[in-house]
Amino acid sequence: MAAEEESAVKEPLDLIRLSLDERIYVKLRSDRELRGKLHAYDQHLNMILGDVEEIITTVEIDDETYEEIVRTTRRTVPFLFVRGDGVILVSPPLRTA
């Protein structure tokens, strides 16, 4: 008789397991964010994402006015491996206006 698959949520990595094949939001180091479909991950938070949008945020300070200019750069990649040591957090996509 096959044992029942243990799909209880016991630890944080189990929460990520719930998002497999779903779209997720990933915050990375160096002011980067990713939004894509989670296809694979491991305990290091190495991940494979599909249909990914990467958002890089930079802040420039004007020499004269000292005002902060926030810029975002976006690009899309169809299929991406992300190394886990750059990951800060993983979440379902945020519902922003």
Partner 1 sequence: MLFFSYFKELVGKEVTVELKNDLEIRGTLHSVDQYLNIKLENTRVVDQDKYPHMLSVRNCFIRGSVVRYVQLPPDGVDIDILHDATRREARGA
Interface ranges with partner 1 (CB under 8 A) = 5-6, 13-14, 16-17, 20-21, 39-43, 46, 48, 50, 77-83, 85-86
CA nearest neighbour of 76 among 59, 92, 56, 46: 56
For the record, the structure tokens of 42 come out as: 């491991």
Q: Is the CB of 50 or the CB of 55 nearer to partner 1?
A: 50
Strand, helix or coil for residue 51: strand
User: Do the beta carbons of residue 35 and residue 52 sit within 8 Å?
Assistant: yes
The least distance separating partner 1 from the CB of residue 42, rounded to whole angstroms, comes to 5
Q: What is the DSSP letter of 56?
A: E
The least distance separating partner 1 from the CB of residue 61, rounded to whole angstroms, comes to 21
Q: Is the CB of 3 or the CB of 97 nearer to partner 1?
A: 3
Q: Is the CB of 15 or the CB of 69 nearer to partner 1?
A: 15
**HSE, side-chain direction, 13 A CA sphere, residue 92:** 6
The least distance separating partner 1 from the CB of residue 11, rounded to whole angstroms, comes to 10
For the record, the structure tokens of 85 come out as: 């040591």
Q: Is the CB of 43 or the CB of 96 nearer to partner 1?
A: 43
